[in-house]
Structure 1
Amino acid sequence: MFRKRKEVKFVFHKHLLLFLITILIPTLLLLSFQVYRIQHDARGQLENASHTYLDRSSRNLDILLDQMNQMVLQISLSPSVLDLLKHPFDQTAYDYAQTKEQLRSWTVINPLFHSLYLDILQNRKVLTTNEGIYDEADFYDKAFLQGLNTVSTSKSSSWIGLRSLPNEDGRGILTFARSVPPVQSTPLGVLVLNVQKDVFYNTWMNLQKEQAGPMILLDPEGRMISGPIQGLDAEKIADSLQAGTVKSDRRTIGDEDYLVSAYKLPASGFVIIQLSPFAAYDKQVAAAFKQAALILLVVTAAGVGVSYYFASMLYTPWKRLADRLKGFVFTGESRDPYTFVNYAIHDLLAVIRKNEPIVRYQLVHELLHDHRVESSDITIRFREAGIQFVYPNFVVLVMIDESLDHQGKIANQLLYLYSLAEDTFGLGIPSAGTILDRQKIGFIVNVEYEEMDEFQMARLEDVCRSIQQLARDRIDATVSFCISSVYPLDQLHEGFEQVKRMIAYKAFMETDIYFSKPMDENVHYQYPAVYQKLIMNAILSTDRDAAESYITEMFDRYLENSVYPYPKLLQTILVLMSHVISSLVQEGFDIGPLMNEIDLLQLQHCQNRDELRQLLVSQTDHVILYLETLRRRDDDYGAIVHQAISFIENHYAENISISDVASSLGISASYLSRLFKAEVGKRPQEYLTEYRLKISKTLLKDHRKTLQQIIEQIGYNDVHTYIRSFKKFEGTTPGEYRKRSMDHS
């Protein structure tokens, strides 16, 4: 009991290892990939949302800055300001006061404005909205004005930035400075608009419809307009940015992680920094990890349980098998049942390989069927199988057992023929073979020359004649041979395809040992249209002797000593039989039952021309017998049914019903329907419908007639009813039938 438990545990470890390799490790890899994908997607969603918000915020900031610039431009273009700039020495104290009040009105009506003043360059005066007029030398903000050299000397130049007013105790002011007037080639002054930074920031923030996280705004010089955030060096981030670029990074600020995205506006140089909390991202990733861990736990538990279950379940049969094999296999040492059975199987396989050379059969099969076989590899494998080829040239030889008997005899006979041929080839010609199917055996034969000359053909023919003689003498079997052209080893699949084409045309061959030879495809081919017509007329007149005579005459003229290629001859037979079938359809016969008797695929199974001719005679006899059956059935109809059919075929173009047919015969409609069904096999209404559709198919071939004209000629009142009936019986619509008929014509 203890030993059994120990062996089960040993097998359990093997199953568990197999589970780890085949199930657990791939599952772990898939779960890791899934978690990584969720992380990547969540990070991408967070970054996309942050970038979208940055883009919207930057557009709002551009709008606000444009409005500020428009205000500055509008103030600079007011008549009083322009007149003061152009003629400062002609202005009175009253004029200065009026201009000052006008400028002051701008600051009063707009809560954004803190103060506004105008630096007049010609007389070095500064007009302010709050204090009045100053000499530039005495102005409290003269240092700022003197620093605006570029603005005061360049046309339409401007400056925007954050600074502190000297008389405001260091309060942050966002200043917009612009050279004025813009219409003047040389600036006459500088208009300075001061905005409280908090008011500007709050105005910009109010433009945002939603807020994903804290927002930081810096002026073009990298100075903070918004309040600072502890732990974030916003100025350093702004210095590292290029205009028009977005930079994102994960940072820990305080106790929380944020996605910090920064963007520098290309036009104004302002920098926007947006902080998106990572809390939602971390929550989504944590849920993914939790789900993956749960799946992994379930798979692991299931794998351990299944492994132990299989180890316990499989131990008994393996132990029983090992006990039975101990009398036949000696291992030399004590082994567990699984190791013992595995050793026994390998030992038995080694014995099989030594006593039955199956490998070479498989190699030949691969060569004949697989074009991807490498010649160098297959040569080594043949050498390992004990086959040594002398020359690099080969032909494919297929031996066909012509003896048709029950399946068991064919199988045993084919094995004997294979052994017989293999022994005969082994007397002097290197070869290797395989059984292809229940009737054919394939050999690859090593030949000396690259072309099939008369010497090689004679040598192979002698071997084939010897095999034929032995087959007749020993088992009364008849065999034939088809031999391909010469090919290298790696192209023998092409030779096999060539032989298969030869076998398909075997009925046209004159000998039982056939070598491949080129056929003249350019020979002018004349289809036997005259015989086709004669044979068809004989069939329709049910003259068996005439049909057989015409078929024999056609064979003597077209197939005996024919110069036509075999594909053309086979095509002639197929076209002839197809024409017979299609002619019956055009004559209005129902060929459904006949198709069970006619099988054109039997042509490929004919062994010679006599069998092919007999097959055609037999097929035409089936057709004639079918026509005779139909005509006898028509003759067997009673007088009432004959009169009903005659009435239907004479009045089908009228709006008749079954009651009309019955009234013309003086019987009831129900009696006529039962009698008609019993003798014809269908009801009168169905016969009328099929007859009308048959007439309409002829009318549809005339493309000049419309559907309306056709239905009027065959007794239909409604086009839609006609189309439904046509599709029900013919499987297609009248339009599609007409198009197909026109295409064939």
Structure 2
Amino acid sequence: MGVTIRMFLKRKEVKFVFHKHLLLFLITILIPTLILLSFQVYRIKHDARGQLESSSRTYLDRSSRNLDILLDQMNQMVLQISLSPSVLDLLKHPFDQSAYDYAQTKEQLRSWTVINPLFHSLYLDILQNRKVLTTNEGIYDEADFYDNAFLRGLNTVSTNKSSSWIGLRSLPSEDGRNILTFARSIPPVQSTPLGILVLNVQQDVFYNTWMNLHKDQVGPMVLLDPEGRMISEPIQGLDAEKIADSLQAGTVQSERRTIGGADFFVSAYKLPSSGFVIIQLSPFAAYDKQVTDAYKQAAMILLIVAAAGVGVSYYLASMMYMPWRRLAERLKGFVFTGESRDPYAFVNYAIHDLLAVIRKNEPIVRYQLVHELLHDHRVESSDITVRFREAGIQFVYPYFAVLVMIDESMDHQGKIANQLLYLYSLAEDALGVGIPSAGTILDRQKIGFIVNLEHEEMDAFQMARLEDVCRSIQNLARNRIDATVSFCISSVYPLEQLHEGFEQVKRMIVYKAFMETDIYFSKPMEENVHYQYPAAYQKLIMNAILSTDRDAAESYITEMFDRYLENSVYPYPKLLQTILVLMSHVISSLVQEGFDIGPLMNEVDLLQLQHCQNRDELRQLLVSQTDQVILYLETLRRKDEEYGAIVHQAITYIENHYAENISISDVAASLGISPSYLSRIFKAEVGKRPQEYLTEYRLNISKTLLKDHRKTLQQIIEQVGYNDVHTYIRSFKKFEGTTPGEYRKRSMDHS
């Protein structure tokens, strides 16, 4: 029922695979197109906005230059008038002038207003006699002059040399009409002003004159005097005075604004020389048109690409769909589903059906029954016989032994692809010639067989027969795939007790380093032999280690092996126990001597004893382990001699705080020195920088923790002071040449 439901869901899932492929190809085409079109529209918008801002700035700059030119001309006229001889004589000697002289000067001033249409009126305030000479009315006493309030307000102009005032104001004689007034103290050559020349210009005439200087106007222009008063006509919706108040002299302010229902790009500039403010309004219509055209063009391109994409996607989806349909047509004669199916669903069903047939009929490589027998799963003897018969295996005799083949080459040259399966095939064929057997793969290095034997005891005939087969397998493995294999063979047991034979073989594998051949037959050991522990050699080896005498340590180990292991009558467990006790005594003695054995535990690994293949390897391992201890003692003593007090304290701090998030600055601060000085003396004495020492120390601690499969990688890095897994993996691979996962896997395989 469960299989039926899963197949139904699978069919529903793949029913519309063609449409999914079609949609996938279409999306693959449209998404890059959308990205490119979006970038194109953005670029057009950006360029159009840049052009609008650039043209507005250019026009604003040209307008400001024209205004400066116009104001300079006004100043030149004022200067020419002030330097005329009649005006200078009148200012210097006002009391000596006759009525005729005043009339002449008046006419001269009037001529200036006549020849220049900009001028509305002009008058001269004579400071010595407080008279005002106008171009229209004549001469007034200052107190009776109709514009005397304005003159009284020009205190700074009348007291400072070359002072001036420009601004928009209402002229009293013109019924409140606004005029633009230019007032300047004269003469400019005099240290103390003698008079004030006031030039009045009509507001609209000045604005129109300035506007006529522009050749091409891109939008409305607004002009304000230095006091922020409007010279041009106001624009509804534009607060020009507020904009003028926020401006600093010489600065430009630009922004987009909606004025009167239309969008404008508003640029304002305050002239630094005169204080006039120019506001220029550029319509956004041209910009909006460019953007709209860009969107239209993008939409058109997208429609074209979408139309073409549908065709291309349909073609590609059909190309992917066609092989499935052809395969479905060919499979219809071999697979019956009972209903009409989509080709994808039909092929999927056919594959699952084929896999089910293969699983049912494939040759059994890893027999479950063999596992049950070897691991004591309490299977009844009669049931075992029936199940073996169903699997096509016939056992003739009632006696059995366990044979385990060990791939010794795995430890040295790495795993070759399918090597263990190939070795299994070799062994199965060799045993199948004359010895009924059934086997399974036990782990990555071992293959187990149960072999059917004729006799109840493992006599010489049966041993010779099995040894011949094992030698044949060894030769084939060596010649064909350059592999080295060894064999462990148990005593003879009935079928229901084969798990005891397997336990016997497992013990033999542990003690195989003490055995003399690569084909080991189980034999009874003399467990009652009186055992004498080599205490004298233990003391001699320990003294040699403490005195760091490698030659003496190796010599004592060799003598101990010759006496206790070669041709020894002691049982294998006692011999292995001797080695373990000896090395444990060495470690415990170091602790009693006050040595910190933490770093040493990374180098001395007693579990490697079980991986030794023969006695020579066992002896070499013991020599190597003692050499590591001696090397560690030499290192400690060399540190004590060579490292200065500061470096020693730094190392102590690092080794006590490595699990914390410390830096070299923290180490230096704990010693009261600078990080640079610490790095220099540390490098000189230790040969590496403090950071390298800290990293290597953390990694050595982590290598020990990696051997504990219960700890996760996150837990390990937190215990050695790392905050980030990726940083730890990079450091580990840099110093160790492999990743933490590979190191852990290799360590677990060895154990």
Counting matched residue pairs gives: 745
- The CA deviation at 1:415 is 13
Partner of 1:435: 441
- What is the SS of the residue equivalent to 2:498? helix
Is the contact between residue 702 and residue 720 of structure 2 (CA under 8 Å) also seen in structure 1? yes
Percent identity, aligned pairs only? 91
- Of the structure 1 ranges 34-43 and 644-653, higher mean CA displacement relative to structure 2 is found in 644-653
**Residue 270 (str. 1) matches residue 280 (str. 2):** no
Is the contact between residue 118 and residue 202 of structure 2 (CA under 8 Å) also seen in structure 1? yes
Over residues 57-86 of structure 1, what are the superposed CA-to-partner deviations in whole Å (9 max), with x where a residue is unaligned?
Answer: 111111211221122122222232222222
- Of the structure 1 ranges 679-688 and 262-271, higher mean CA displacement relative to structure 2 is found in 679-688
Relative to 1, partners in 2 of residues 1:582 and 1:199: Cα closer, same or farther, differing over 3 Å? farther
Is the contact between residue 371 and residue 491 of structure 1 (CA under 8 Å) also seen in structure 2? no
Matches of 1:113 and 1:334 in 2, distance apart? 102
- The CA deviation at 1:504 is 42
Counterpart selection for 2:573 from 558, 563, 567: 567
- Of the structure 1 ranges 50-59 and 365-374, higher mean CA displacement relative to structure 2 is found in 365-374
- What is the SS of the residue equivalent to 1:359? coil
- The CA deviation at 1:274 is 1.4
Is the contact between residue 162 and residue 186 of structure 2 (CA under 8 Å) also seen in structure 1? yes
Matches of 1:706 and 1:103 in 2, distance apart? 102
Is the contact between residue 599 and residue 700 of structure 2 (CA under 8 Å) also seen in structure 1? no
Relative to 1, partners in 2 of residues 1:221 and 1:712: Cα closer, same or farther, differing over 3 Å? closer
- Of the structure 1 ranges 541-550 and 96-105, higher mean CA displacement relative to structure 2 is found in 541-550
Is the contact between residue 402 and residue 448 of structure 2 (CA under 8 Å) also seen in structure 1? yes
Relative to 1, partners in 2 of residues 1:229 and 1:327: Cα closer, same or farther, differing over 3 Å? same
Relative to 1, partners in 2 of residues 1:327 and 1:381: Cα closer, same or farther, differing over 3 Å? same
- Of the structure 1 ranges 92-101 and 675-684, higher mean CA displacement relative to structure 2 is found in 675-684
Is the contact between residue 504 and residue 604 of structure 1 (CA under 8 Å) also seen in structure 2? yes
Over residues 164-201 of structure 1, what are the superposed CA-to-partner deviations in whole Å (9 max), with x where a residue is unaligned?
Answer: 21122333311111122223333222111111222222
Matches of 2:661 and 2:355 in 1, distance apart? 83
Relative to 1, partners in 2 of residues 1:266 and 1:331: Cα closer, same or farther, differing over 3 Å? farther
- What is the SS of the residue equivalent to 1:190? strand
Relative to 1, partners in 2 of residues 1:24 and 1:118: Cα closer, same or farther, differing over 3 Å? same
Relative to 1, partners in 2 of residues 1:436 and 1:274: Cα closer, same or farther, differing over 3 Å? farther
Matches of 2:152 and 2:666 in 1, distance apart? 119
Partner of 2:694: 688
- The CA deviation at 1:152 is 1.6
Relative to 1, partners in 2 of residues 1:703 and 1:430: Cα closer, same or farther, differing over 3 Å? closer
**Residue 296 (str. 1) matches residue 302 (str. 2):** yes
- The CA deviation at 1:421 is 16
- The CA deviation at 1:288 is 0.5
- The CA deviation at 1:134 is 0.6
- What is the SS of the residue equivalent to 1:344? helix
- The CA deviation at 1:317 is 3.0
Partner of 1:520: 526
- The CA deviation at 1:135 is 0.7
Over residues 550-570 of structure 1, what are the superposed CA-to-partner deviations in whole Å (9 max), with x where a residue is unaligned?
Answer: 999999999999999999999
- What is the SS of the residue equivalent to 2:189? coil
Matches of 2:456 and 2:93 in 1, distance apart? 112
- The CA deviation at 1:137 is 1.2
- Of the structure 1 ranges 280-289 and 3-12, higher mean CA displacement relative to structure 2 is found in 3-12
- Of the structure 1 ranges 441-450 and 163-172, higher mean CA displacement relative to structure 2 is found in 441-450
Partner of 2:217: 211
- What is the SS of the residue equivalent to 2:308? helix
- The CA deviation at 1:148 is 1.4
Relative to 1, partners in 2 of residues 1:576 and 1:103: Cα closer, same or farther, differing over 3 Å? farther
Relative to 1, partners in 2 of residues 1:513 and 1:9: Cα closer, same or farther, differing over 3 Å? closer
- The CA deviation at 1:246 is 1.7
Over residues 570-623 of structure 1, what are the superposed CA-to-partner deviations in whole Å (9 max), with x where a residue is unaligned?
Answer: 999999999999999999999999999999999999999999999999999999
Is the contact between residue 399 and residue 480 of structure 1 (CA under 8 Å) also seen in structure 2? yes
Matches of 1:600 and 1:455 in 2, distance apart? 39
- What is the SS of the residue equivalent to 2:15? helix
- The CA deviation at 1:426 is 24
Relative to 1, partners in 2 of residues 1:300 and 1:554: Cα closer, same or farther, differing over 3 Å? farther
Over residues 275-302 of structure 1, what are the superposed CA-to-partner deviations in whole Å (9 max), with x where a residue is unaligned?
Answer: 2222221221111011111111122223
Structure number with larger C-alpha Rg = 2
Partner of 2:241: 235
Matches of 1:52 and 1:559 in 2, distance apart? 103
- The CA deviation at 1:45 is 0.5
- What is the SS of the residue equivalent to 2:340? coil
- What is the SS of the residue equivalent to 1:591? coil
Relative to 1, partners in 2 of residues 1:81 and 1:366: Cα closer, same or farther, differing over 3 Å? farther
Relative to 1, partners in 2 of residues 1:401 and 1:730: Cα closer, same or farther, differing over 3 Å? closer
- What is the SS of the residue equivalent to 1:391? coil
Relative to 1, partners in 2 of residues 1:633 and 1:67: Cα closer, same or farther, differing over 3 Å? closer
Over residues 107-150 of structure 1, what are the superposed CA-to-partner deviations in whole Å (9 max), with x where a residue is unaligned?
Answer: 22222222111111221111111111111111111121112122
Counterpart selection for 2:652 from 643, 646, 650: 646
Matches of 2:120 and 2:456 in 1, distance apart? 104
Over residues 438-493 of structure 1, what are the superposed CA-to-partner deviations in whole Å (9 max), with x where a residue is unaligned?
Answer: 99999999999999999999999999999999898669999999999999999999
Matches of 1:30 and 1:445 in 2, distance apart? 73
Is the contact between residue 12 and residue 308 of structure 1 (CA under 8 Å) also seen in structure 2? no
- Of the structure 1 ranges 424-433 and 640-649, higher mean CA displacement relative to structure 2 is found in 640-649
Relative to 1, partners in 2 of residues 1:734 and 1:310: Cα closer, same or farther, differing over 3 Å? closer
Matches of 1:244 and 1:376 in 2, distance apart? 109
TM-score when scaled to structure 2?
Answer: 0.46
- The CA deviation at 1:307 is 3.7
- The CA deviation at 1:240 is 2.7
- The CA deviation at 1:98 is 2.0
Is the contact between residue 537 and residue 560 of structure 2 (CA under 8 Å) also seen in structure 1? yes
Is the contact between residue 379 and residue 496 of structure 2 (CA under 8 Å) also seen in structure 1? yes
Over residues 231-276 of structure 1, what are the superposed CA-to-partner deviations in whole Å (9 max), with x where a residue is unaligned?
Answer: 4332333233222222223333445432222111122111111122
Over residues 71-106 of structure 1, what are the superposed CA-to-partner deviations in whole Å (9 max), with x where a residue is unaligned?
Answer: 212222223222222222222212222222222222
Is the contact between residue 360 and residue 382 of structure 1 (CA under 8 Å) also seen in structure 2? no
Is the contact between residue 407 and residue 445 of structure 2 (CA under 8 Å) also seen in structure 1? yes
Please list, as runs of the form range in 1=range in 2, the aligned pairs for 1:42-81 lying within 5 A after superposition.
42-81=48-87
Counterpart selection for 1:385 from 380, 391, 400: 391
Relative to 1, partners in 2 of residues 1:661 and 1:104: Cα closer, same or farther, differing over 3 Å? closer
Partner of 1:374: 380
Relative to 1, partners in 2 of residues 1:462 and 1:18: Cα closer, same or farther, differing over 3 Å? farther
Partner of 2:20: 14
- The CA deviation at 1:54 is 0.4
- The CA deviation at 1:47 is 0.7
Matches of 1:10 and 1:549 in 2, distance apart? 79
- Of the structure 1 ranges 609-618 and 86-95, higher mean CA displacement relative to structure 2 is found in 609-618
- What is the SS of the residue equivalent to 1:578? helix
Relative to 1, partners in 2 of residues 1:724 and 1:455: Cα closer, same or farther, differing over 3 Å? closer
Partner of 1:86: 92
Matches of 2:555 and 2:221 in 1, distance apart? 104
Relative to 1, partners in 2 of residues 1:684 and 1:331: Cα closer, same or farther, differing over 3 Å? closer
Partner of 1:529: 535
- Of the structure 1 ranges 572-581 and 490-499, higher mean CA displacement relative to structure 2 is found in 572-581
Matches of 2:343 and 2:53 in 1, distance apart? 61
TM-score when scaled to structure 1?
Answer: 0.47
- Of the structure 1 ranges 623-632 and 482-491, higher mean CA displacement relative to structure 2 is found in 623-632
- Of the structure 1 ranges 191-200 and 658-667, higher mean CA displacement relative to structure 2 is found in 658-667
Relative to 1, partners in 2 of residues 1:212 and 1:336: Cα closer, same or farther, differing over 3 Å? same
Structure 2: stretches of 5+ with no match in the other structure: 1-6
Relative to 1, partners in 2 of residues 1:478 and 1:730: Cα closer, same or farther, differing over 3 Å? closer
Over residues 5-62 of structure 1, what are the superposed CA-to-partner deviations in whole Å (9 max), with x where a residue is unaligned?
Answer: 9999934531343145422233223322321221121011001100011011111111
Relative to 1, partners in 2 of residues 1:531 and 1:370: Cα closer, same or farther, differing over 3 Å? same
- Of the structure 1 ranges 712-721 and 47-56, higher mean CA displacement relative to structure 2 is found in 712-721
Is the contact between residue 480 and residue 512 of structure 1 (CA under 8 Å) also seen in structure 2? yes
Is the contact between residue 410 and residue 439 of structure 1 (CA under 8 Å) also seen in structure 2? no
Over residues 297-317 of structure 1, what are the superposed CA-to-partner deviations in whole Å (9 max), with x where a residue is unaligned?
Answer: 122223333444445555453
Is the contact between residue 401 and residue 492 of structure 2 (CA under 8 Å) also seen in structure 1? yes
Is the contact between residue 602 and residue 703 of structure 2 (CA under 8 Å) also seen in structure 1? no
RMSD, aligned α-carbons: 22.9
Is the contact between residue 360 and residue 432 of structure 1 (CA under 8 Å) also seen in structure 2? no
Is the contact between residue 357 and residue 385 of structure 1 (CA under 8 Å) also seen in structure 2? no
- What is the SS of the residue equivalent to 1:203? helix
Counterpart selection for 1:422 from 418, 424, 428: 428
- What is the SS of the residue equivalent to 1:373? coil
Is the contact between residue 125 and residue 134 of structure 1 (CA under 8 Å) also seen in structure 2? yes
- Of the structure 1 ranges 40-49 and 369-378, higher mean CA displacement relative to structure 2 is found in 369-378
Relative to 1, partners in 2 of residues 1:471 and 1:5: Cα closer, same or farther, differing over 3 Å? closer
Relative to 1, partners in 2 of residues 1:644 and 1:620: Cα closer, same or farther, differing over 3 Å? closer
Is the contact between residue 602 and residue 704 of structure 2 (CA under 8 Å) also seen in structure 1? no
